[in-house]
Structure 1
Amino acid sequence: MITGLAIHGKGEQALALLYEMGANGMKPNAATFTSLFSACCHAGLVQEGLGLFRNMSEELGVMPNMQHYGCIVDLLGRAGRLKEAYDLIIGMPVRPDAMLWRSLLGASKIHGDEAMGEKVGKLLLQLDDSTPWSEDCVALSNVYASAERWNEVETVRKEMRVKGILNQAGCSSVQTVNFDAS
């Protein structure tokens, strides 16, 4: 039920259901917290989501996993609290994955924080020992383009060519319907 409420942006009702669960002696599990964080995120309940995150392990005995961290980074990123999201990622007890960094990079672009976007974009490119993903290179290039830093755009694109990183072409699908009048 909490997931359904989360999908429909009913964050306050999802939280009320959590409290009702507690009143009936039921404890939330890791999946429940993912849904609760999603509900808070989609309803803009930043303080409530952060409070749940702080209390989930201490009071309810559920250790945060990578998915929970991702939800909180998304929650903070949507609210424009990019420094807090960055600090959360840096302070995690486990190594952050690329999805967390990509979430913060997207929020940086949405909120026009060029400095954070550049920092996160560079971190993302250095995250793996393997060749970076073309999407990550393009995202960093787009951060520079948004700031009209054309020399840096060219540098990133040139590095992609040198390393043989190809930009993945997008595709679209169009369906046509023949309304034959006969």
Structure 2
Amino acid sequence: MAELIAQGIESVPGCDARLRTVPAVSTVTEATEAEVPADGAPYVELSDLQQCAGLALGSPTRFGNMSSAMKYFWDGTAADWLSGSLAGKPSCVFTSTGSLHGGQESTLLSMMLPLIHHGMLFLGLPYTHAELMTTSSGGSPYGATHWSGMDGKQPLSGDTRTLAIALGKRLAETAVKLQGGK
């Protein structure tokens, strides 16, 4: 889903997406993750937040909430909150879950909270996207969602793809407008 949102962002002239991830949270007091992930997107750094013109935040659904690793990351952003470095930047959220009614919307809401506390502007998906009314695989006015199935192998539907790309495009277009069309 992150790659589809990035595709939507990059469809807007002058916009580039930067994919990042958060390290897993250890259940013991010692670090268990390498400083650089073995594969996939690099770990996010606070400078990534400060440098971004907009932020698409995604997490798997964990009992109707964002993952503990994502929550742990946001718990470490107090300095950015105090400085207001994210205030006024547009943001959006997305999630995927293994069960059809697994708390997608409550997960999106849980991810909105730190963004709102940071003073970010929140963007959802308007019902001008007809897929919100026809999808049977996920999607919400709160953000893009995907039902991955219990085994995580449920493919992304056409509606999910369309909504994820639209969300990224909306984020980028808003960031451009807020920066005065630069």
Tell me if both proteins adopt one fold, taking TM over 0.5 as the criterion. no
Name which structure has the greater RCO, CA cutoff 8 Å, separation 6+.
2
Q: Which has the higher helix share?
A: 1
TM-score relative to the length of structure 2: 0.30
Q: Which has the higher strand share?
A: 2
